[in-house]
Amino acid sequence: MLLTANSTTQLPSIASEIISFARGIRIFLFYGDMGAGKTTLIKALCESLGTTEPVTSPTFSIVNEYIGTKNRIYHFDFYRLKNQTEALDMGYEEYFYSDAYCFIEWPEKIPDLLPANYISINIKVLDDNSRQIIIKQI
Ligand SMILES: Nc1ncnc2c1ncn2[C@@H]1O[C@H](COP(=O)(O)OP(=O)(O)O)[C@@H](O)[C@H]1O
Ligand SMILES: [Mg+2]
C-alpha cells in the first residue's frame, strides 16, 4: 500500500489505515532517514490505539512502553545500539513475542533478530511537509 501524507494533520487517518491494513499483525518496522518522520508516524499510531501519554523517541532507554485502549505498545529506537548482543541483553524477545504492539525504529541494527512476519513501513521525504509512505506485509 502506498500513501502520501501532505501534512502531519493527515497522520491520524493514515495511522488508522495502517492499523487496519496490518490485520492483527503487531510488529511494525520503520525505515527512513533521520528526520523522515518515523517517530511522528509512531506517535499517530499510538494515539490511534488510544495512548494519551506523550510519545517521544526512546533514545536513552531503547524501549518505551505505552498503554493503549486495548493494547500495550512497545516503541523501540535501535539507532544507538552498538551490536545485536545489546538487544539480546535487553530481552527483546520478551517484547517481540508478547501480544503487544511493537513499533521499531532502525531495525537495520538487528538484522538477525527480525521476526518472520511483520509490517514494513518505508518513509521518504518529498518536501518539508510531504512524505511518501510505503507499507508492506512481510
Ligand atoms: N507528513 C509528515 N509526516 C511526518 N513527519 C512530518 C511530516 N511533515 C513534516 N514532518 C516533520 O518531520 C519531522 C520528522 O521527525 P521524526 O519523526 O523525529 O523523524 P525520525 O523519527 O524519522 O528521525 C518532524 O519535525 C515532523 O513534524
Ligand atoms: Mg525517530
Distance from the first to the final alpha carbon of the chain: 12
* Ligand 1, atom nearest to 133 Cα: 3
pTM for this entry:
0.96
Domain ranges of the chain: 2-137
Burial environment of residue 41 by CB neighbours within 10 A (0 to 12, 13 to 18, 19 or more): buried
Atom of ligand 1 at shortest range from CA of 30: 22
Residue 104 Cα to ligand 2 midpoint, Å, equals: 10
Closest by CA to 135, choosing from 7, 37, 30, 40, is: 30
Which pLDDT tens digit goes with each residue over 8-57? 999 999 999 999 999 989 999 999 999 999 999 999 999 999 999 998 88
- The residues placing their C-beta within 5 Å of ligand 2, an ion, are 38-39, 57, 105
Could you tell me the CATH superfamily of domain 2-137? P-loop containing nucleotide triphosphate hydrolases (3.40.50.300)
Residue 119, Cβ density class (10 Å: 0-12 exposed, 13-18 middle, ≥19 buried): buried
